[in-house]
Amino acid sequence: MAANKGAQLSKNVLQMKFMQRSVLRIEREQNEDERQKIIDDEHWVLDLPEYKTKEHRYLKDQSYAFCEQLRFGRQSFQGFNPEIEKLMKAEIAEQELKEAEEKEKQNSVSDKEMTQRYSSLMGILAKKFAKKRSRKDIVDEEEVEEPSKKKAFLKPSDD
Amino acid sequence: MADKRVGNVFMPGDVLEDLQVSESVKKIVLGPGLIDDGNRIKISKPGILRFREPGIYWIDCHQKRYVPSKGDSVIGIITQKAGDIFRVDIGGSEQASLSYLSFEGATKRNRPDVKVGDIVYAKLLVANKDMEPEVVCIDSYGRSSGMGVIRNGGFLFNASLNLVRKLLSPQCALVKSLGHRFQFELAVGLNGRVWAKSKSDIQTIAMANGIMASEFMDNNQIKAMCKRLSRAVSGMEVE
């Protein structure tokens, strides 16, 4: 819009007679801007109490094919229709892949287990990464209560 | 964690209250035969309550009338060409519509070659109790992936919806053991239509009879039947 642009005409120029049309235009544009703003804010909002959407506890699927995991209905055997046989092979491969993935999921360590394992290892790992000197301190602190027995040479019996 | 009532028989109108959910499952999926009615679940089909991990419940019932549901693969028969759509009989209460553009490789100029009376293997895109069902013959990538017009003969017959589900269930040995003994092709629609084709008519009819007979057999009986069937067929073909 012209009114917003950097190069604005000065008041004196606008007061000249031949500039009157431009003055009108600029005014009109400003008015329009303001009206637009009013529309933006309030035009699309209905003043209604908030809707409570019921939470659906169930998903619905009325297809037996999904529930019973039925196979695809076109099948061919012993090379009667190679095209269909190719599709069947692809379907079987896909299914096997899915099963393998599921198995892998069961066997592998979950994120939760991982964090548990590592949080239990915390102290030990800290020891590992500590510098030699401070490591000694940690060890010392733990072993303070143990009575320090001096090791001495035990003479074996002669018999 | 499955509910204790899984495996029990329920009748329409029965109410299931506080269905059990394990903690890890956020939402239960209600399959066919179960209706969410506020804070309780109502049963709408007579049958056995089934459960599958994680948290999927449904009613397993014997049924002959097909009710379209989204995502089902069905066998339809083209009954009418109406402008840019085909009307397809899929065995439901209403005929489904099939756009001529929803075939693999079809464009506005290049119309698919489909005639009235053709059999199509299609997937239900829209299935709503208040709307006309719509079927398509392409997947979301625009490929046919086994769908489309089924040509070159074969034999189409009707079965109960139960039998059709049994044929496609991963536990059932029927299709596999037929596949060991015969060279054939099969299309099974969840609307209870089965199309079979093999190298001879005798074999096709024998297989169709075998499939129809297997509805109330267990896997061992099915295997024995397939053995007898293949012997009988080979005997007939020798003559």
CA distances from B76 to A56, B66, B98, B204, B209 (A): 35, 12, 10, 20, 21
B34, B57 contact by CB (below 8 A): yes
Per the prediction, chain B carries an average pLDDT of: 89
pLDDT of residue A140: 55
Residue of B nearest to A73 (CA): B188
Per the prediction, chain A carries an average pLDDT of: 78
Q: Which residues of B touch A78 (CB under 8 A)?
A: 179, 182-184
Contacts of A3 (CB under 8 A, 6+ apart): A26, A29, A30, A33
- pTM exceeds 0.90: no
Domain boundaries, chain B: 9-60, 73-150, 155-238
Residue of B nearest to A83 (CA): B146
pLDDT tens for each residue of B107-117: 888 888 899 99
Please indicate if any CB of chain A lies within 8 Å of the CB of B11: no
Please indicate if any CB of chain B lies within 8 Å of the CB of A74: yes
Please indicate if any CB of chain A lies within 8 Å of the CB of B190: yes
**Distance between CA atoms of residues B51 and B7, nearest Å:** 8
The radius of gyration computed from the CA coordinates of chain B, to the nearest angstrom, equals 20
- In CATH terms, the fold of domain B73-150 is OB fold (Dihydrolipoamide Acetyltransferase, E2P) (2.40.50)
pLDDT tens for each residue of B115-124: 999 999 999 9
- The C-alpha angle with vertex A27 and arms to A26 and A31, in degrees rounded to 5, equals 120
pLDDT tens for each residue of B155-211: 999 999 999 999 999 888 899 999 998 999 999 999 999 999 998 899 999 999 999
Cross-strand bridge partners of residue B55: none
Binning pLDDT at 50, 70 and 90, where does residue A2 land? Answer: very low
Query: B91: helix, coil or strand?
Result: coil
B224 against A136, higher pLDDT: B224
- In CATH terms, the fold of domain B9-60 is OB fold (Dihydrolipoamide Acetyltransferase, E2P) (2.40.50)
Beta strands (DSSP E) in chain A are 58-60, 74-77
Same fold, B73-150 and B155-238: no
Inform me whether the pLDDT recorded for B48 exceeds 50. Answer: yes
ipTM above 0.85, yes or no: no
Q: Which residues of B touch A87 (CB under 8 A)?
A: 145-146
**Distance between CA atoms of residues A139 and B1, nearest Å:** 49
Mean pLDDT for B25-51 is: 85
* Letter string b/e over residues B92-118, b meaning 16 or more CB atoms within 10 A of that residue's CB: beebbbbebebbeebeeeeebebeeeb
Q: What is the four-CA torsion angle of B84, B88, B92, B94, rounded to 10 degrees?
A: 40
**Distance between CA atoms of residues A157 and B229, nearest Å:** 91
Note which residues in 36-95 of chain B have CB less than 8 A from chain A.
36, 41, 50, 52, 56, 58, 67, 69-73
Residue of A nearest to B32 (CA): A62
Q: Which residues of A touch B226 (CB under 8 A)?
A: none
Contacts of B229 (CB under 8 A, 6+ apart): B181, B206, B207, B209, B210
Inform me whether the pLDDT recorded for A146 exceeds 80. Answer: no
- Which residue of B36, B121, B183 is in closest CB contact with A74? B121
Query: Around Cβ B47, how many Cβ atoms within 10 Å?
Result: 19
Q: Could you tell me which CATH number the domain at B155-238 has?
A: 3.30.1370.10
